[in-house]
Structure 1
Amino acid sequence: MSNSSNFKNLKIIDLSTVLAGPSVGTFFAELGAEVIKIEHPIYPDITRSWKLPMEDQKSSVSAYFSSINYMKTYQQLNLKEDAQREQLYELVKTADIILMNFKFGDQEKLKVTDEILRGFNSQLIIGKINGYGDKSDRVAYDLILQAESGIMSMNGTPESGPVKMPVAFIDVLAAHHLKEGLLIELFSKKGNENYKGKSVTVSLYEAAVSSLANQASNYLMNNAIPQRIGSLHPNIAPYGELFNTSDDRIITFAIGSHTHFSKLCEYLELSELPLENRFSSVQNRVKNRTELFEILKEKVKEHSADEILKYMNEHFVPCGEIKDLKAVFETELAQELVRTEMIDGIETKRVSALAFRN
């Protein structure tokens, strides 16, 4: 990718911590912006200490911290100290964007309210992330948002109980929403000498609820409350069932159309199945998905994963192997997304914040 000069004249101050806010800063840094991450000298970003057992406990960085801090410069300021806060004000005078995720009331305590900051720079764009809206003082962590937005209630299996997703999914979503809002403001500002700075605010809760998409509509239109069905899809089958191959690998199919289903059945020498009423439509396949799975799994076990994947890819049938991260990062496409940087003398790695090409 050749995106490193897109925002070469953009200056961003990153006061945020944990994942959502810092990942927005990294996004712009990777696009060429100057991003200054400011941390408290005694209490820096908490994720510096969020380490796996095998990580060096004395190190000033962790893999978690590295994942969403890239190509930034670092500065320590205690915003409770007048002289150090003045240094922030000086930076604000020439900044385009400032990022923050302070708890309710902390902007006032630290004297970094929107009004104060715009007193130094009337065109300043302020990007803010909070948990439950501008007026809520609730502490918000991704786990709690996954619990309270309905996501955990439908994630998992009947046996497992509610399950959290293994990435901070709500933080990631909120960051994307904030990026979009900030890009819109930058577009509004471009070439407009009379532009007045705006504040773009994203709550983790609203980002979570807005992500419910088809599951939300299933409820809103049909009063269907999603149940825990593992990786299965409530509207499509076979979709998400796990199949063992002859070489003890695990694959899954996302059969989204009758054409997909017919091609799958043709390969498995089950050409009569699409003609049977119980499997002749998407709805019927969903109703009879357990019976269908039992039929398909016996045939899938007769073939190797490579044989199945080759045929399905050649015939445009969505099919994939269940891979761990070792296998993922052995692929060329994933390796192209790895970014390396030295932070505090330590080699750090993360995946790119940019999943587009231009």
Structure 2
Amino acid sequence: MSLPPEKAPQPFAGLFVLELASVLAGPQVGQFFAELGATVLKIEAPAGDVTRTWKTPAETSDTDISAYFAASNWGKQSVVLDLTTPPGRASIRRLAARADIVLASYKPGDAEKLGADFATLSADNPRLIYGHLTGYGPDTNRAGYDAVLQAETGFMHLNGPPGTEPLKMPVALMDLLAAHQLKEGLLTALYQRAHTGRGVLVQVSLLDSALASLANQAATWLVTGHDPRPLGSGHPSIVPYGTVYRAADGRHLVLAVGSDRQFELLCAALARPEWASDPRFHTNAMRVTHRAGLEALLTHRIGEVNGEKLLQTLESRAVPAGAVRTVSEALTSESAERMILPPTPDFPHAGLRTVAFQSNTWKPVPALTGPSHLAQHQAENGLPALIG
């Protein structure tokens, strides 16, 4: 008989993770393991994770926990080790000797200089799984920055309206894609270790992660030889899909009509049933061909109706559509409640979960400790306090 979710052990209970990674991709993976029950020890250089200093004008300067840092560092302990010194290198080897996973994000060659590479740390722990994030792979000594990777892998070229300058996305998506790839690699390694008893080196680059995520845009070029072009919010092979419309009440909304039947229902909701039988729009292939004409008709008609009422009608008819929301509107909606981490006594702000899946046998940790101050857990990990 299985235990109820509230009593079932967390999937990673008893797992010990050392996080030598900084910024976003690696720390996202660390929080993922923490949310599912692992003990995660964040190892920071004396200056701390650089994102502790990345603050918006709305933030105060009297804390070393920025909103950016808080995005990926819930549920962890923080210690400082100077790996340029013999004591620091000795400490990391001692910790790695009992770790299950190490997360690292060094440029190729840097981990070896610090004695924190896979070969060195696994010599004392053959079961160690080592996840290494780089910008361009283990053979390219070049730092990886999300904005640069967005530019170099086609994402900025495709982002934005036609005829405008390339546009960066508002989140570090390449970092997040690489984090997901590393999670997959580490979970695969844990499964393998369960059968072999041995650890493994898992290497993930931002470049490969970005290219793997071009999906249908990459396939378009590989199959047809035609380079995909920017379409704003539109979709290259489905219409209407993604374009933003403004209704008479000022509500911005998006349609995601993926079938001819859905288009027929949309036309009925707009009191324009004749559009569905128009030879220009009768099939998706024809709607793609006559994109400009259809978009002009939709823009005009939606501009005449009440957006909230239209969205209600479309929902009742199972036509995919939604309102364009702000971040605050999205996070305060009822459907977002399960993704919010509650404030803690030490960190009086809510947080955002990284785990977005559920199970019938366990639940993510209901409440995590908040993001830690730099070196907050030196003593309990047997490390000397910082001086100065």
Please report the TM-score for the alignment, with normalisation by the length of structure 2: 0.88
Task: Report the equivalent of 2:79.
Answer: 75
Q: Retained in 1: the 8 A contact 2:103–2:132?
A: yes
Letter in 2 for 1:49: T
Letter in 2 for 1:356: F
Q: Retained in 2: the 8 A contact 1:66–1:348?
A: no
Q: 2:222 aligns with which of 209, 220, 223?
A: 220
**CA apart distance, 1:347:** 2.8
**CA apart distance, 1:346:** 3.5
Task: Report the equivalent of 2:286.
Answer: 284
In structure 2, relative to structure 1, the CA distance for the partners of 1:151 and 1:4 (3 Å cut) is farther
**CA apart distance, 1:281:** 1.3
CA distance in 2, matches of 1:65, 1:172: 14
Task: Report the equivalent of 1:36.
Answer: 41
**CA apart distance, 1:159:** 3.8
1:300-350 Cα distance to aligned partner (Å, 9 max, x none): 23322221111111111110111111211220121321114559x443432
1:91-145 Cα distance to aligned partner (Å, 9 max, x none): 1111100000011211121012211101110110000100101011111100000
CA distance in 1, matches of 2:116, 2:33: 22
**CA apart distance, 1:4:** 7.1
Task: Report the equivalent of 2:271.
Answer: 269
CA distance in 2, matches of 1:295, 1:136: 51
Q: Retained in 1: the 8 A contact 2:134–2:205?
A: yes
Task: Report the equivalent of 2:28.
Answer: 23
The alignment status of 1:243 with 2:245, answered yes or no, reads yes
Letter in 2 for 1:135: D
Q: 2:104 aligns with which of 100, 107, 113?
A: 100
Q: Retained in 2: the 8 A contact 1:130–1:204?
A: yes
Q: 1:86 aligns with which of 78, 84, 90?
A: 90
Q: 1:211 aligns with which of 206, 210, 213?
A: 213
In structure 2, relative to structure 1, the CA distance for the partners of 1:4 and 1:349 (3 Å cut) is farther
Q: Report the identity percentage.
A: 38
Task: Report the equivalent of 2:363.
Answer: none
* Structure 2: runs of 5+ lacking an equivalent: 360-388
Q: Retained in 2: the 8 A contact 1:4–1:31?
A: no
Give the number of equivalent residue pairs.
354
Secondary structure of residue in 2 paired with 1:54: coil
The alignment status of 1:160 with 2:161, answered yes or no, reads no
Moved more, 250-259 or 271-280: 271-280
CA distance in 2, matches of 1:234, 1:320: 20
The alignment status of 1:145 with 2:149, answered yes or no, reads yes
Letter in 2 for 1:240: G
The alignment status of 1:122 with 2:126, answered yes or no, reads yes
1:24-48 Cα distance to aligned partner (Å, 9 max, x none): 000000000000000012x210000
Secondary structure of residue in 1 paired with 2:43: strand
Following superposition of structure 1 onto structure 2, how do residues 171-190 of structure 1 map, counting pairs within 5 Å?
A: 171-190=175-194
Please report the TM-score for the alignment, with normalisation by the length of structure 1: 0.95
CA distance in 2, matches of 1:14, 1:224: 42
1:210-247 Cα distance to aligned partner (Å, 9 max, x none): 00000011111111211111000010111122222121
Task: Report the equivalent of 1:133.
Answer: 137
Letter in 1 for 2:35: E
